[in-house]
């Protein structure tokens, strides 16, 4: 996250805010699941998944663009390969450039892998969103 002013953007008609400078995305918690269901990954997204997560991101302190409070960092549980920041007060999630695609891809990929555990990725996401709700 940087100091640039966020601008309106859309992922498959779901309105989000995006940074024109670092290309991060600011989304509402309630929008994450619809975006995951609607946004198809690209080949470059899949290539990016081969990169290990940057755990130093867990130490980063972001100010919420909305309330200026400190956002909390999480390792996204679907693959653990994405570190995301969230503001419990505003119910907002910050994703650095490429992280939204990683989450979408890992969710879809997990669904395809084994029929028995087809909804594993999505279940993890829902559990994670619920845990955020409970923390508020």
Give me the residues that bind Zn ion (CB under 5 A), please: 2, 4, 19, 21-22, 64, 66-67, 69, 87, 89-90
Q: Least distance (Å) from Zn ion to the CB of residue 110?
A: 29
Q: Least distance (Å) from Zn ion to the CB of residue 105?
A: 22
Q: Least distance (Å) from Zn ion to the CB of residue 91?
A: 8
Residue 12 or residue 21: which is nearer to Zn ion going by CB? 21
The answer to whether 15 touches 7, Cβ cutoff 8 Å, is no
Residue 90 or residue 124: which is nearer to Zn ion going by CB? 90
Residue 25 or residue 106: which is nearer to Zn ion going by CB? 25
């Amino acid at each position: 996250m940087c100091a640039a002013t966020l601008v309106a953007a859309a992922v498959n008609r779901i309105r989000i805010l995006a940074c024109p400078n670092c290309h991060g995305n600011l989304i509402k918690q309630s929008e994450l699941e619809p975006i995951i269901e609607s946004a198809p990954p690209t080949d470059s997204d899949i290539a990016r998944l081969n990169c290990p997560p940057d755990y130093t991101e867990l130490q980063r302190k972001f100010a919420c663009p909305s309330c200026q409070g400190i956002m909390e960092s999480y390792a996204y549980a679907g693959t653990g390969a994405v570190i995301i920041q969230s503001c419990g007060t505003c119910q907002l999630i910050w994703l650095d450039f490429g992280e939204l695609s990683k989450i979408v891809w890992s969710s879809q990929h997990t669904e395809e892998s084994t029929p028995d555990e087809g909804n594993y990725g999505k279940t993890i996401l829902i559990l994670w969103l619920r845990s955020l709700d409970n923390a508020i």
